[in-house]
Structure formats: structure tokens, C-alpha cells
Amino acid sequence: MKLKYFLIKEQIENIFNLELPKGFWKKYGLLNVSYFKYAKFLLLYNFHQSDVFEKQETNENRINIMKRIETQLRSLLKTIAHEEELSYLLNKYEIFWNKCKTIINPDNEKLNAEKQEVINFMNICGFDASDHESLFSLKEESLSYFETKMLRLSLMMRIRHLLSQINCSMNFYTRSYYILKYALNNLMLYSYENRLIETGEEPENPQVEVKIETDKKKPGGGAPAKPDPKKLAQQAKEDEEKKLIEDKKKNELEKQSVKITKISNI
């Protein structure tokens, strides 16, 4: 059973590390890369969505994998939002470039400014300078900008739905609610031609913390860290301040109750 568990664990890591060939997007488009990543994380989720293990260590490993999937999906949401903005800028530049071709004295200065805006955003997205020309000539399977925008928004909604399912499987129902709430809110804002709305986060939900495995349980592993005296003193001070605030509120409530009693007696 132990050998089987570690074999499955190794296979899961292989799926996490699965990547498309370098330059795949140049032939098949950025959108297909995002769909591949979504399918990969959906497969990993389906492996663990209903597993309940008796051993605490094994169950913690399942939760940690779910959190890893969530972290990767949130990163994918940001990537798709940036690709949508890049697609918008490329479409705007292409429209202006086609317009300039029909004019005798085109505004080359404005055309160069439009192109530079696109290049600057490519750099923000992390593309190399050698990829810029490929991006300018990139066509997402001969689809128009509005068709690719529809597909990207649809993929964003699918990812947020999967994020909601992941949190439900971990019994985080409040987190799941806010994920779906922002899915609908972001879709509405995108439909009103707003840009760069999706951030992959919700202000109400704290960031996911993924536990990193260490060798502390192995023989000769590191000993647990000693508590920091400064942090302990700071924590004690904060606890004392909280207690004073609670005592003050309690006294105020008691005074109000005395006043109410006196008024009722009158």
C-alpha cells in the first residue's frame, strides 16, 4: 500500500511538471496553451476531489495538492487576463495600421506610438524581444479578436468554477462563494468593455499557503525552530491590548444596561 501511494505521488508530480514544447504557441496560439493548462489541473482535481484518507498525513497531502492546483489556476487567470489585454492592443494596432495603408500621408508618429504601446505590454507579460514579431503576426486559428475574447472569458469562468469546486472539496464554502461572486462580477465588467479586470484573487479571501515538504521527520532532520523572543513579546502586547479593548466594551455595555434599568424603574 505504501509503495502504491508513492508511485501515485510520483505520477501526480509528473502531471504537475507536464509542459508543452517550446514555441508551441507560435503555431497554435496562446489560447490553446491556456486550455492545455486548464485541462491538466482539471485532471489533477478529478484525482483528488472525493478522496478521504484515514491517515492524517495522507489526507494533509491531498489538501496540499488541492492548494497547489488552486495556486496554479490563479496564476493562469492572471496570464489569461494579460493575454486578453495583449490581444486587444494588437487588434487596435492592426486596425490603425490597415487604416494608414489607405491614407496618402499616414500619421507614422502615432502608428509607432501604437506599436510601442504593444511592445511595452509584451515586455510586461514576460515575452522576449525575439518573440515580438511572432506575436504581431500571430493569429489564433484565424479567429477574430472578438471570437478569441469570447473564448478567453469562457475559460476564465471555467477556471473560477473549478476554483470554487476545489474549495468546496476542502470544505471552504465561504471562499467558494466569493470566487463565484467575482466570476459573475468580472464577466459583467468585461461585457462593458472594461480591461484588465481579472486578477486571480478576491479581496475577501486570504492567499493560499502551500506547505513545503521538509526532511524534519527523517532521521537526522532539522530540529523544530526555536520561538523568537521578540515575536513572543509582541504577541503578548497585542493580546493585552485586545483584552483592554474588550474590558472597555464590557464596561460600556454594563453602564448602558444600568441606565436602561433606571429608566424602566421610573
| Domain-wise residue ranges, the chain | 2-191, 227-266
Residue 246: predicted pLDDT: 67
**Nearest by Cα to 83 from 34, 11, 47, 134:** 34
Determine the average pLDDT of the residues in 172-183: 95
The 10s digit of each residue's pLDDT in 78-127 is 999 999 999 999 999 988 888 887 877 777 888 888 889 999 999 989 89
Percentage of the chain beyond pLDDT 70 is 73
Amino acid at site 105: N
Across the range 51-61, mean pLDDT stands at 69
Residues 6+ apart with CB under 8 A from 131: 26, 122
Please determine, for residue 258, whether its predicted confidence score (pLDDT) is greater than 80.
no
Per-residue model confidence (pLDDT) at position 216: 42
Residues 21-36 pLDDT 10s: 988 998 889 999 999 9
Euclidean distance between CA atoms 15 and 3, whole angstroms: 19
CA 52 from chain center: how many Å? 26
**Which residue bears the cell 491614407?**
103
- Is the dihedral angle over the CA atoms 19, 25, 27, 31 positive or is it negative? positive
- Give the mean model confidence (pLDDT) for residues 181-186: 95
Question: Nearest-CA neighbor of 81 among 43, 31, 142, 130?
Answer: 31
Residues 146, 4: Cα–Cα separation, whole Å: 48
Helix (H, G, I), strand (E, B) or coil at 205: coil
Q: pTM higher than 0.75, yes or no?
A: no
What DSSP character marks residue 131? Answer: G
